[in-house]
Amino acid sequence: MSKIKAPKGAPFARILGVGGYRPVRVVPNEVILETIDSSDEWIRSRSGIETRHWASDEETVAAMSVEASGKAIADAGISADQIGAVVVSTVSHFSQTPAIATEIADKLGTNKAAAFDISAGCAGFGYGLTLAKGMIVEGSAEYVLVIGVERLSDLTDLEDRATAFLFGDGAGAVVVGPSEEPHIGPTVWGSEGDKAGTIKQTVPWDRFKVGDVSDLPLDSKGEIKFPAITQEGQAVFRWAVFEMAKVAKEALEASGLSPDDLDVFIPHQANERIIDSMVKTLKLPGHVTVARDVRTTGNTSAASIPLAMERLLATGEAKSGDTALVIGFGAGLVYAATVVTLP
């Protein structure tokens, strides 16, 4: 018989507060058209994107995260020293170690909170939310801060017609805490590594070691390009529309709900055509509010779901207590879907 004492966590967990930060600079499609042969009409019809935000040198991954987190902590009605763990999902923190989460935890004034980064691309928020729920129910933390943050402008090839218009910067954060009722449903998540090549970094960092760089990609000036995110657009579109609709349905079923029970749908803000196709495939009723933050924020990867959630609540399009289906999907290919009660 085990001598280990059983953990005393909360019965359930819920999102208690949300916050977001969008960089000051707003970049319209006209700026993107300076480096690719396209048109504003083509970009809007292909993606729905009208503008995106790009960070300045001062708007670092850490700085944006601290701003978003401060809002989430205030919204949750707690203090930073009550945060027991900080989970940061990002692919654009360029120092391999230490984790940026440790710097964020310190700047927020937590009391030596556990802190770590995860890399799950556009599904990262869902992964972080699932980890937070587990920590609270298990009892290793009372409150967990989950952050999705990206500076994808640093990983954008502005000469790549297929991706130059897609990406934006920003940070979204939520505080997850204890609950007497279930407000975060079971997570349906997974990966399809056989499709990993459909979204990837063009060049791995180790290629920049001293040595032969003769086959590295060059820009229009003949200079070596910084690594960027590239994707096979049609393959990703088909996968997202057909396979992720199935995952979304599984998440609803796992929570014991049907589309009619939903108030809000917050998919990863990858592309408005994907969002529209998912809404159609899921047969969502007309009363369901659908997040379309992609139009003015672009694709911010791990930050897109919390940023969209924050905007819906701020504008009154969604309200506290609404039932929302959230689903993230992206590089890996990885995915995570669950049903939550909005804070």
Q: Known catalytic residue: 268?
A: yes
The residue with tokens 């049609």 is 234
Burial degree of 280 (CB within 10 A; 0-12, 13-18, 19+) = exposed
Q: What is the DSSP letter of 1?
A: -
* From 29, 53, 271, 299, the catalytic residue: 299
Tell me how far apart the alpha carbons of residues 155 and 149 are, in angstroms, rounded to a whole number: 13
* From 53, 93, 183, 268, the catalytic residue: 268
What is the three-state SS of 250-311? HHHHHCCCCHHHCCEEEECCCCHHHHHHHHHHHCCCCCCEECCCHHHHCECHHHHHHHHHHH
Q: Are 156 and 299 spatial neighbours (Cβ–Cβ below 8 Å)?
A: no
Q: Known catalytic residue: 122?
A: yes
* From 29, 53, 93, 122, the catalytic residue: 122
Tell me how far apart the alpha carbons of residues 263 and 339 are, in angstroms, rounded to a whole number: 11
Distance of CA 82 to the CA centre of its chain: 24
User: Does the CA dihedral 189-276-147-325 come out positive or negative?
Assistant: negative
Q: Known catalytic residue: 53?
A: no
Peptide bond into 98 cis (omega under 30): yes
Catalytically annotated residues: 122, 268, 299
